[in-house]
Structure 1
Amino acid sequence: MEIVQTNQAPQAIGPYSQAVKVGNMVYTSGNIPLRADGTLVEGTVEEQTHQVFANLKAVLEAAGSSLDKVVKTTVFIKNMDEFARINEVYATYFTTNKPARSTVEVARLPKDVSIEVEAIAII
């Protein structure tokens, strides 16, 4: 097992790692729309979703992987009524290799953001 750490994505805000590599797989923690400097993107759900994917991309690359190698995502959203808007942004990041996905509406997310995404990828 190897802990993944990059300064190109926000640092963990609790007792967890940005990601963990096990064999040829990487498991990311949930990513919320924080910039690498720790400031929050408080704009539209689309802007928040783009920031989440910027963070995921940075963490995956630090692990020796990429968005093209993601096999599964879990998407947590605050409001299922925003699903179509989130899905439009999500689709721009997975144009050829579309991973398996679960999407769940939750009561509340850290820092009251609209979206959090975690991923599993091959290396």
Structure 2
Amino acid sequence: MSITRYGADGGVGTGGQHLPFSSAVEAGGWLYVSGQTPMTDGEVVEGGIVEQSRLAIDNCVKIMTDAGYGLEDVVHVKVILTDARYFQSFNKVFKEYFGEHPPARICAVADLVVDVKVEVDVTCYKAP
């Protein structure tokens, strides 16, 4: 089995810092996308939970698409919200993306290392 690392050179985080991890890793038909926040080019995109949720998921989708996976291939999603009051709004956005192919999911409330409202990661599977 081979392992393919996407974005292994590392992305750019807040303040221009180099991120020392791959944006995704693929092995044996599985694609693990690193947690994505509502950032563009290393800068946080301000907005409410709806806007930030869409951008975090869009960032995951871009990485998945670049690796040859689609929303129908998502089997599990992990979500971290910084406030439990965001839960219902996040669910509405989540349904926009995954209503046709709902994956398994965990959603937790915790502080994040970046000043954002949400972080999302996905696990995909496609038979090799």
State TM-score, norm by structure 1: 0.89
1:20-31 map, 5 Å: 20-31=25-36
Match of 2:11 in 1: 11
Correspondent of 1:79 among 77, 83, 88: 83
Q: Which amino acid aligns with 2:79?
A: V
Whether 1:2 and 2:11 are equivalent positions in the alignment is no
Q: Which amino acid aligns with 1:31?
A: Q
Match of 1:44 in 2: 48
The CA deviation at 1:50 is 0.6
Match of 1:114 in 2: 117
Q: Which amino acid aligns with 2:108?
A: V
Q: Which amino acid aligns with 1:121?
A: C
State percent identity of aligned pairs: 31
The CA deviation at 1:55 is 0.4
The CA deviation at 1:92 is 0.2
Which has more radius of gyration? 2
Give unmatched runs, 5+ long, in structure 1: none
Correspondent of 1:55 among 29, 45, 59: 59
Structure showing the higher strand proportion among its residues: 2
Give unmatched runs, 5+ long, in structure 2: 14-18
C-alpha offsets along residues 73-109 of structure 1, whole Å, 9 cap, x if unaligned?
A: 0000100111001111111000211000000100x11
Q: Which amino acid aligns with 2:123?
A: I
CA distance in 1 between counterparts of 2:62 and 2:70 reads 8
CA distance in 2 between counterparts of 1:79 and 1:119 reads 20
Q: Which amino acid aligns with 1:40?
A: V
CA distance in 2 between counterparts of 1:57 and 1:28 reads 9
C-alpha offsets along residues 21-57 of structure 1, whole Å, 9 cap, x if unaligned?
A: 001110010000002x222111011000010111011
Aligned-residue RMSD, C-alpha? 1.6
CA contact (8 A) 1:5 1:62 kept: no
